[in-house]
Amino acid sequence: MAHTAMSGSGTTAGDDPLQTAVWRLRSRGCWTDAAALLAPHTATPAPALQRASLLVERCLFTGTGWPEAEDALRSAEATAREDHERGAAACERGHLAYASTVLGVRDRADEARAALGRAAALLDPTAPGRALLDFRRGLIAEHLSDSPQSARAAYRRAHAAATAHGETLLLSFTWRHLAGLALREGELAEARHGFSESLRIREELGYLVGTAPALAALADAEPEPEATRLREEAGRLFRLLGGVPTWLADQLAPRAPVVPVVGPRAADV
């Protein structure tokens, strides 16, 4: 399962106190509380869009809160004035439609593609928001269009741009999804490296809600008994956060043991 990234790099000592508080809540999966802190500031485009982004991320991690995310996004779209603001809002619109589609709530794949296309037309190729846009176009290519080559190209563009603009959290997502494609092709060493980098970044930033998925992803590329240890650690964190992200439950479910075949092999029967 894919999941989202807003731009960002965690917090530092010099950050605005409001942004520090928002990050701490978001990193623990408290998206509604984080959005509430931004509500008094949503007459201007940046806080309005950030609030919408938080509520869209909540949808993708929990499968709930769709009306609130739609309302917040419409408000953000209404406040946008400049091309880069309208482009960022279109990028978020596309991501909400993607989330609805990939979680099976409602098929909005065409809306997702159209919105990200609008974002691409509005955002300057060198704009900081371009990294997030490319990442999200990669998600659509991989999970809605089943085009791993296009997805890889988009993830690589996003990775390069995120590196250039210091979007550290976004790098944890590009590392993870590039690693996922490598695993799909049987490139275990490359997959382990990418998953390990993703996990390292999330642990360093304190992105708690994204750490269990990172542990589970790395487990898929590791041999036993390390794979089981990683899944157990992911499971403890998953339960600590109240079962978020909800889609991780299936991946963490106990796996059936391999039963040795006695007598003729199945292929010989």
| Three-class SS of 24-89 | HHHHCCCHHHHHHHHHHHCCCHHHHHHHHHHHHHHHHHHCCCHHHHHHHHHHHHHHCCCHHHHHHH
Count of residues making up the chain: 269
Band of pLDDT at residue 222, cut at 50, 70 and 90:
very high
Q: Which of 27-31, 224-228, 261-265 has the lowest mean pLDDT?
A: 261-265
Asked if pLDDT for residue 259 goes beyond 70, the answer is no
| DSSP H or E run through 196 | helix 188-205
**pLDDT at res. 2:** 41
What DSSP designation does 22 have?
H
Question: Measured in Å, how far apart are the chain's first and last C-alpha atoms?
Answer: 36
Q: What does the pLDDT read at residue 43? A: 97
Matching CATH number, 169-246, of 2.60.40, 1.10.3470, 1.25.40, 1.20.120:
1.25.40
pLDDT band, residue 253 (cuts 50/70/90): confident
* CA gap 134, 212 in Å, rounded: 24
The mean pLDDT value for 65-93 works out to 98
pLDDT (mean) for 146-172: 97
> Which ranges of 63-187 does DSSP label H, i.e. alpha helix?
66-79, 83-102, 109-122, 129-143, 148-165, 168-184
Query: How many angstroms separate the CA atoms of 163 and 27, rounded?
Result: 21
Is residue 217 pLDDT above 60, yes or no? yes
- Would the pLDDT of 13 be above 50? no
Residue 210 and residue 190 in contact, taking contact as beta carbons nearer than 8 Å = no
Q: Is the pLDDT of residue 10 over 90?
A: no
pLDDT tens by residue, 35-52: 999 999 999 999 999 999
Q: Cis peptide leading into 264, omega within 30 of 0? A: no
Q: What is the pLDDT of residue 254?
A: 77
**Vertex 73 angle, CA 36 and 172, to 5°:** 80
DSSP, res 254: P
161 vs 264 pLDDT, higher one: 161
Distance CA 2, CA 190 (A): 19
Residue whose token pair is 């642990």: 203
Give the domain ranges of the chain: 169-246
**C-alpha span between 228 and 233 (Å, rounded):** 9
pTM for this predicted structure:
0.91
Mean pLDDT of the chain: 91
